[in-house]
Amino acid sequence: MCDYNKVERKDRDMGEVILTMKGIDKSFPGVHALDHVDLEIRKGEVHALMGENGAGKSTLMKVLTGIYSKDSGSITYEGKEVEFTSPRDAQDAGIVIVHQELNMLNHLTVAQNIFIGREIMNGKLINDAKMNEEAAKLFRQLNIDIDPKEKMGNLTVGKQQMCEIAKAISHEAKVIIFDEPSAALTEAEIEELFKIIRDLRDKQLGIVYISHRMDEIKVITDRVTVMRDGSYVGTLITKDCTKDDIINMMVGRVIYEDPKTESNVAPDAPVVLKVEHLNAGKMVQDVSFELHKGEILGFSGLMGAGRTETARALFGADPKESGDIYVNGKKVDIKSPMDAVKCGIGYLSEDRKRYGIVVAKSVAENSTMASMENFMNGIFINKKKENEIAKKYVNDLKTKTPGVDQLVVNLSGGNQQKVVIAKWLVRNCDILIFDEPTRGIDVGAKSEIYHLMNELVAEGKSIIMISSEMTEILRMSDRIVVMCEGKKTGEIDISEATQENIMHAATRRE
């Protein structure tokens, strides 16, 4: 067990402090995203920033790099208090972030990508030869073998990541933030990445390393800061701590909602959905599970675990490479969302505004869009029938709206979610996939969604619930499937589920 009392004494032996964030507070409407968070980065260290999904890690880095303004607190950089108003301000000062989602233009060369927006000019013309020369210098510094004249789109993801790092170095960076840098890399590419990070550390850069991969944290980092629910929990010396220490800090919250202690599913409940050996790219690898009638099957895992990708492959929204799907014992061939809907499967996307609703249309129009063939008289829509069914579900779901002709854009997030649910209930889907069903909605609306889900399974519907909130998983699930990096790494009955054993499975690479 880590000796927490040793942390402060041992820290003093490390390099000079280059960056301090103290008491950082940030709120958005209805969300206290950061609650007086502290972070200290020293020269010549790799400092892990860890926490569950939604812990506030990305928000803290966005405050640091000028994407968000802080509500209170202070940022001290190289001994002076600073506040950056844009990412460009932060870059110019030497603080650069290497994003998980690479911001590269595939049709441009490597050198053109590195210097985009600050091209080296020869009079009024871009001096490509000089940019190639400078890019080659950067790659030599980093011991990277990449041709600056190569088109970015021709490189592997790992090589593109190296180019992103070279771009950061070209800003004369003193602090580099790596946001899940290894998520899309092979083992060999990760080794190359670690060589570069160690070299940067030796050159006295301060490095923030955001990752969910516990084994990487032990290999590459010097200290670990843990955040939970928007708050600072503590900072540990990596070599003196175990995986269990970090997990306990990540999940050691009080669960205010009572977790479910036993499954509500009858022992003889029939299997309504069976998925065998589903494969769909790197994020869905040999996934198998069963869903019973009247069950809420929770899907848990950290960012990039492959939960949404599994749901999309099952629903036909993304192509599957292989695997079998059975609905009520019958093998089905789902190649599109339309096929899934015909099989009685409805999908509430985590991005409801992109995939779930049409915000410029009314409550009634959204409620019936998945079942439009049932509301047609020839080529005309039976508006009276449409309004009647929409009113029924507004009443059943207690959706707060002036009327069914109200545009969905004018509703709150929770009520928009109810309209999406209504759409699939109108379609009479027996299997419902709820992907992050309460994301972005207030506590009161969450409670209503939970109540509704329990009513649905009591009526015989079956639900797959994907959630990043541990409290939600423990409160609602009858059984929990845990994923890590595209693979199923655990299946836990709710009677045996704890935050700790879920997190262990969520960080276990198979």
Half-sphere exposure of 371 (CA within 13 A, CB side): 22
Q: Does residue 179 have a pLDDT over 90?
A: no
Residue 300 bridge partners (DSSP): 482
Of the two residues 406 and 181, the one the predictor is more confident about is 406
Can you give the C-alpha Rg of the chain in angstroms? 25
Residue 76 bridge partners (DSSP): 20, 81
Report the range out of 36-50, 358-372, 378-392, 495-509 with the highest average pLDDT. Answer: 36-50
- For all residues of the chain together, what is the average pLDDT? 88
Under CATH, which architecture does the 1-94+173-254 domain have?
A: 3-Layer(aba) Sandwich (3.40)
Confidence band for 502, pLDDT divided at 50, 70 and 90: very high
CATH 3.40.50.300 domain position(s) in the chain: 1-94+173-254, 265-344+430-443+460-510
CB 138 within 8 A of CB 166: yes
Q: Does residue 11 have a pLDDT over 50?
A: no
Amino acid at 111: A
- pLDDT tens digit string along 418-460? 888 888 888 888 999 999 888 766 556 677 788 889 999 999 9
Q: Which two tokens stand for residue 189?
A: 């590419």
* Of the candidate ranges 203-207, 220-224, 370-374, 413-417, the one whose mean pLDDT is the lowest: 413-417
Which whole number is the average pLDDT over 33-38? 94
DSSP-based helix, strand, coil % in the chain, nearest 5: 40, 25, 35
pLDDT of residue 5: 36
- pLDDT tens digit string along 59-78? 999 999 999 999 999 999 99
Of the two residues 316 and 349, the one the predictor is more confident about is 316
Q: Which long-range contacts (CB under 8 A, 24 or more apart) does 187-194 make?
A: 188/158, 189/156, 189/157, 189/158, 189/161, 190/216, 192/158, 192/162, 193/158, 193/161, 193/162, 194/219, 194/220
Confidence band for 353, pLDDT divided at 50, 70 and 90: low
Check whether domain 265-344+430-443+460-510 has CATH 3.40.50.300, yes or no: yes
| Helix orientation angle between 157-170 and 187-202, rounded to the nearest 10 degrees | 10
Phi-psi category of 485—alpha, beta or left, where left has phi over 0 and alpha has psi -120 to 50?
left
- How far apart CA 240 and CA 3 sit, in angstroms, is 8
- pLDDT tens digit string along 234-243? 999 999 998 8
pLDDT of residue 142: 81
Q: Does residue 29 have a pLDDT over 80?
A: no
- How far apart CA 269 and CA 194 sit, in angstroms, is 49
- How far apart CA 326 and CA 387 sit, in angstroms, is 35
Half-sphere exposure of 233 (CA within 13 A, CB side): 24
* Of the candidate ranges 203-212, 343-352, 464-473, the one whose mean pLDDT is the lowest: 343-352
Confidence band for 348, pLDDT divided at 50, 70 and 90: confident
Q: Which two tokens stand for residue 385?
A: 């029938």
Amino acid at 337: P
- How far apart CA 225 and CA 247 sit, in angstroms, is 12
Q: What percent of the chain has pLDDT over 70?
A: 92
The closest alpha carbon to 362, from 331, 399, 335, belongs to 399
Which whole number is the average pLDDT over 221-249? 91
- pLDDT tens digit string along 105-141? 889 999 999 999 889 998 989 999 999 999 999 898 8
Which whole number is the average pLDDT over 381-399? 89
pLDDT of residue 8: 38
* Of the candidate ranges 203-217, 347-361, 376-390, 494-508, the one whose mean pLDDT is the lowest: 347-361
Which whole number is the average pLDDT over 213-239? 91
CB 226 within 8 A of CB 50: yes
